[in-house]
Chains A and B, each alone.
Chain A
Amino acid sequence: MVEHAIPTIDEVRAAQERIAGEVLRTPLVRLNVDDAPAEVYLKLENLQPVGSFKLRGATSAVRLIPEAEMAQGVWTVSAGNMAQGLSWAARRLGVHCTAVVPENAPEAKLANIRRLGGSFVKANFEEFTAIWGTREKDGVSGRLVHPFSDPAVLAGNGTIALEILEDLPDVDTIVVAWGGGGLCSGIAAAIKAVRPQVKVYACEAETSSPLAAALEAGGPVRVDYSLSFVDGIGSPIVQPEMYALATQLIDGTLLASLEETASAVKIMAERNHVIAEGAGAVSVAAALAGRAGGGKVACIVSGGNIDPAKLVTVLEGGVPPAG
């Protein structure tokens, strides 16, 4: 049985208490671009200790696991950032973490999992995405912390929305990368409970946009996708429970091209001195293209784990290759 309840605002507030002192309360800074089509703000989740927002959901979930179950360890299935987030949260509690990762996961992310004391098992991309639904992997045991549809993970992600509202109470629009959908849904659930007039857009890379296709078709459909340097998001199909959340919570989807995304990474580096990975920059790319409209637009910079060589390519004005 798959859980797909929308987290309540009380659950998000409880998650906020569980993770307080463990995760960074990240700053919301104005993007220093004068001629942007909106007042664009950056929620800098790339500054989290493991370089992405995933720490919030992981900590929120791990802290709910009963003591007796902890000894068996935890595992997740993730492109890298959740693996790091969970490894970090597990290590704080003295628990082992295993990550099932896709075979194209960048070396920077794998090195970080090792550094955090976690271990990993590779799966080809089809199997990897299938595990999001089957929730099983031969040879891996312990408690699964699902990277996006675990309710405690969603509630942890929702804490980002509470912080944005504290810092920018009159925010008009929030743009969030859509990978598995957990970040976007968690934020939308919290924001709609507190300030329903705020628009929440999911953002995908053009090269892999299953949510846009699902909303168009009226249900999850398989899409063509190609691997790219935007490796933290993108999948062949939206999971049914996440599609259900999206239709209830979000105001639409936006697309960003690879060129726009690379350019957004470069602009953030030059103007704001922050390093975003591709997935962390699609929201900014869409906002800079005017697709999120005007007013005050908060973009979630979801992570900063980009290979230095790819960052160099971006800084030199290029679009890095996949893998």
Chain B
Amino acid sequence: MTAKGSTSAAPLGAADLRASTQITSREELWTIVVITVQLALALLIVHAFQLESRTFFHVMVLAAVGFPFHALLPARLRLPMFALLSLASIVVAFGARDGFFLIMLGLVLIGLCHLPVPMAVRVPLLLVTAALFAVWRMELLPAPWSVAIWPILASMFMFRLALYLHALKHDGQRPTPARTLAYFFMLPNTCFPLFPVVDYTTFTNTYFDRGATQIYETGMRWIARGLFHLILYRFVYLHLAGDPTALHTLGDLVQFLLATFLLYLRVSGQFHLITGTLHLFGFRLPETHHLYYLSSSFTDFWRRINIYWKDFMMKLVYYPSYFWWRRWGGTTAIVAATITVFLLTWLLHSYQWFWLRGGFPLAPQDGLFWAILAVLVVQGSLRELKQPRRRTLGRGPAWSASLAVRTVATFTVICVLWSLWSTESVAAWLMIWLAAGNVAPGDLWLLGVLVLGGLLVAGRAWSVHPTPDASPHPFYRRPTLQSTALLVGLLVVGTTDLYAWSSPRLAAVVASLQRSTLSARDAALKHRGYYENLDNASRMSANLWSVQAARPRHWVGLSSTAAWRRRDDFLGGDLQPGARIVFNDQPLTVNRWGMRDRDRALEKPKHTYRIAVLGPSHVMGSAVADGDTFSDALERRLNREADQKSTIRYEVLNFGVAGFSLVQQLAMLEERALQFRPDAVFITDSSGLNGPILPHLINVVASRTTIPYPELEAIIGQTGVRALAGDGVPAPFHSVRSLLNAAGVRTRMPFHEANHRLRLSIDDVRRWTLRRLAEVTRQHGAVPVFVALDNVLESPAVHRGVLEEAAAAGFIVFNLLDVWQGREKDSLRIGAWDDHPNAAGYRVVAEHLVTLMQQSRAELRLTEGLRDVPGSP
């Protein structure tokens, strides 16, 4: 490790300090103006890229407006003003009522810290109060405030209370009310539940301890850096971080490992924004991260990543543990203290998630991650005790091979460990390594380029700073210029109209970063969440969590209601005939045939063109009332538009069932829909139609349900997933199961492995199902139509050849995948947490279907009936 050196002037004496924090010169005033303009640029970037939340934008506006006033205030008024601004931001974010309660609950905690009783009494009182708060957090007791206040209130107090108490006990200075309020309610905390653990002593000691403009310039540089990190994060999240269950090649695996670690950019971006904003109000806090991707050892990594957490642990855990254990020797003390730190980090991580998201996750992969990291850090510490690492005060060599190799090796191991921490389970993590054995052309080149690039970058000692001399920085290294250049650069990049004509692909990629959307993986998880409880709140990405958190508690999947009928056959379940419930706020009625439809006669009336519509939830009409599904809208539309001279009437029968996969639509078609002798069969599915097939077939195999299709049975049999259907202990990999079986231990394939194996044959399953659907439909004299329709998504999904496959299978293809583009999507979907179309959305679908039916009149054998409608969409 090399010395940072002092990049700024030495600390000032008290009198000089007071003088230097006042803005007296024209140059300093000009700096205030420049920084205010930079803040305006930052706000434009936040708006252009829709970064973080609306609350974040409002808080940044408050900071940007408050900064110049604050900077021009007399020094003695600044801290009170910052405290007031912080309290105001709480009201802005939560509204008057919840804001009031949040502040009051916080004041209760602060009051307990200052009770005129010994610390031995105060601490238990605080613990009891925290326990009461936890009961409220779990909503076990009614409260006059919204549950939404808890993540922010908790992030303000759950760790800072301990540091505050420590300072009360050991620091000489008694805190002032303004400083205490500023410390706990600090402005940026209102919009960031994940917040660096700011140390109270540091918070106090670094307050305007340098020249004011110098602090402000550093803050602005960090804000610019934070925005850059957040935009980079979005690129990684949307375009690089894939689904761990969909890794096929070594290249996929390498990309997944890299991207998973790079997702941490969101945390470092937020923390830069937070500490940068605090700098604008005089709090010259240290950096929260320091080039953590360039750690040359695991102890180095621990020291560079989330430095505030490391310092928090050092102060409250490591040093007290060390001093307690050192009666057994220094080495024992260091090992014991380090292990204690990592154990507590694991537990406190779960404690934190309890407050932020509910639940108390203690997943095995979390424990494994921290345990392995602890072992690596302990090893590193013991090595450093014997052989201290080299330090230098000046500039080291330009490039070091040893440093390069150590850094790349450390980075690689950290990526592997991080992937363990991020996957759903240890079993799921083991499955990703199956992709390593499949080396696609170009994978080795990719690996080579990454390693070589990594070595080139990592061999340079980036932390070295030359000792300051009297000469000023060259103009291009001045902080103000650097941060302005970065901000302007981000704005230019965000203005895609400037270069879309010459680089349309780049413009499209940048445009994709300018919306807060879910990645393909998270969108699939969200879709899964319509049918099952996603109880892994702590493992969700922040993006998915923010969507899930908006979901009303009564918003459940169909299988949790009385309208669902579980079956022990290949269908797995369907709608309960005669059910009448309220499903997600809307009446849902099931007729005697098990259809979400009005009552229908089995016998087709004369002069009736009958359409049987099959599909999942957006056919059934999740969260819309009876009569508002797209089948209903289509029937009304068709009959309204029917040629007045025609005697043909239309019936559109809704056989949709939420959660139904393509294979279940086949079973429903053969069991029920064809009995109604439809003239056309609309098989409706989204572009992500593989998604529901996998879990359905895995459930079928696991429950040993008979698959009534020999060809499908053959495809599944070839994957080897029949080993899932056992009573034994789940053991990954065939070789391991064989060994255990030989030793007399009964085993079965784990679900994750079955999912992986089946996924490799999913294309065959899909193509077979499409062919079978079309064949069976035609055999019964009906016309097969494939309707490609997604929920109301922000951007159209990737087709992946589904439309071509459907056409090749013999379907008429109605492509509605772009139906939502160019429309105000919020007015056409149920809500932020539920992308299903609402009634208005389904009317749009019906309009499009009518147009497509008109265009395919001959294929649909509509000899009469539909008249041309001018100006159709």
A and B associate in one complex: no
- Which residue numbers of A lie inside 8 Å of B, CB to CB? none
Chain B residues close to A by CB (< 8 Å)? none
